[in-house]
Structure 1
């Protein structure tokens, strides 16, 4: 399949022009500036996490990675992995949930899993690239659901056992989705054949790389968070001051 219209990030980047393809879309720059203002004013609990989230958002939405994601499905998946596994986690550290949330963690985990699977179904994925509103709906639902889930997982009000189960379930469902993409017998997602070949990939190889990215590297932040939660739950309670 060929997707003739990429509504956001512009035409697919090719090796000759990739490094010049920066995205200076005013709404994106305004959103990043607003986040920088909030972090600089000390409104967040962890300034370093806030700056880190902002830097990663600049990478995925402003840098040439944006245009490259129009060329390669694997880069689009990398973009999504950075959003849900890294940006959302950093935002959860910067703007944490200190008390028990109104929505139970299992519901947040399920909502994020639904968002991830829906937007990586071939039809929904193609629709998400067909218009600017659909594109931003994709981005905001992926990031928003992941942020709410990460806030609950990292919250001290959440029992460590429940947080570990949530991380394990998320790792499992992402790994399953990645495996299904890797072992698909044919390309399932809209691609630009010319630009994909220009980067040295066939559409199927590009898709397999995308699945591997979601299957293995995407799990690392969740494993790290799980080890941290397990370690903190095993440490002896500190004496009250």
Structure 2
């Protein structure tokens, strides 16, 4: 299909754009400001601009590519639905009242992170936004931009970032390090650290899901894809269980903050742990079963490289 003609180059190109998107999307609220009495929608300009630009580029690219796709329109429609679902999940995480509630409830903060990592990230990967964003650029920009990302350094960097074992280790390290009390507390009191936290959560999740889903699971070592999914489910479940069963409040900043919602800090922490443990684990299980079903239902096409997606 036409969208796949320059797919690898497009992916490397959009790395730079994606950094800007993640940086803007991560700074969703002022964590140092006093918590509002009634959490409402937060319209941080950079968040709205980045979300709007990503949707606009995708929409323009979809319209342009639709005219050239012919029999590939069903696949385009499916990918557009995936992208829309992921985009709406980011809106819910970064713009809806859930974002503001994250300053008052650890459980809400956890739900926000899970929405980014296990809902938005895999759906965005399945939506194949990179090629569509390229088609959304002005025609005169496409060739020079594509040429710029074909350099050896960019290619080597992208190869490392998307190496499955690296993406898996990086995502695991990000999850555990940021939930250490010292770092999590620092993120609650510094906008810069909070931005870095959200960038690393969403960015590492996108890399992880690309490693698992980026070629539709049709890599020669299918078993490794399943290993990455289920080991991630296991270690995130373990972290959630630790939060749930701990008798000590890990993050003192939430002490007293949840009283307006009828919860003390320990109950709030236990609810946040359960969100990571149960719904989070279920999402990984569903992804693993979906891949198995895909493999059993359709043999891997011969000669098809990393351009395929579920």
Which has the higher mean CA deviation after the structures are superposed, 157-166 or 53-62? 157-166
Indicate the larger mover: 38-47 or 166-175. Answer: 38-47
Q: How many residues get paired?
A: 229
Unaligned runs of 5+ in 1: 1-5
C-alpha separation between the residues in 1 aligned to 2:92 and 2:204? Answer: 20
The gaps in structure 2 that reach 5 residues or longer are 1-28, 66-75, 132-157, 303-310
Aligned to 2:61: 42
Which residue, 46, 49, 59 being the options, matches 2:92? 59
1:140 and 1:208 mapped to 2: Cα distance? 25
Pick from 110, 115, 118: which aligns with 1:82? Answer: 115
The alignment status of 1:124 with 2:157, answered yes or no, reads no
* Contact persistence 2:42–2:97 (CA under 8 A): yes
Work out which of the residue numbers 31, 34, 40 in structure 2 matches 1:8.
31
1:78-227, aligned counterparts within 5 Å? 78-95=111-128, 102-103=159-160, 104-154=163-213, 155-156=215-216, 157-158=218-219, 159-227=221-289
CA offsets, 1:82-137, max 9 Å, x none? 11101111111122799xx7232122111000001111111100111222221111
Aligned equivalents of 2:182, 2:199: Cα separation in 1: 18
Q: Which runs of 4+ in 1 moved over 4 A?
A: none
Q: 1:49-83: per-residue Cα shift (whole Å, max 9, x none)?
A: 22112211111111111111111001111111111
Higher helix share: 2
CA gap 1:187/1:95 in 2 versus in 1, 3 angstroms = same
Instruction: State how far apart, in whole Å, the 1-side matches of 2:193 and 2:56 are.
Output: 28
Sort the Cα spacing of 1:227 and 1:97 in 2 relative to 1 into closer, same or farther, 3 A. farther
Structure 2 counterpart of 1:29: 48
CA contact (8 A) 1:97 1:151 kept: no
Superposed CA RMSD: 2.4
Q: Which residue of 1 aligns with 2:135?
A: none
The alignment's TM-score, normalised by the length of structure 1, stands at 0.87
CA offsets 1:2-53 (integer angstroms, 9 cap, x no match): xxxx843953354xx23xx211110011011111112212369621122112
CA distance in 2: counterparts of 1:173 and 1:162, whole angstroms? 16
Give 1:191 deviation, angstroms.
3.0
| 1:55–1:9 Cα change, 3 Å | farther
8 Å Cα contact 2:249-2:269 kept in structure 1: yes
Query: Equivalents in 1 of 2:33, 2:281: separation in Å?
Result: 30
Structure 1 residues 96 and 226 mapped into 2: Cα distance closer, same or farther (>3 Å)? Answer: farther
* 1:213 Cα deviation after fit: 0.7
Distance verdict in 2 for CA 1:9–1:213, change over 3 Å: farther
**Offset, 1:192:** 3.9
Task: Give the TM-score, by structure 2 length.
Answer: 0.68
Displacement after TM superposition at 1:178 (Å): 0.5
Equivalent residue of 2:159, what SS?
A: coil
Indicate if the aligned counterparts of 2:257 and 2:265 stay in contact, CA closer than 8 A.
Answer: no
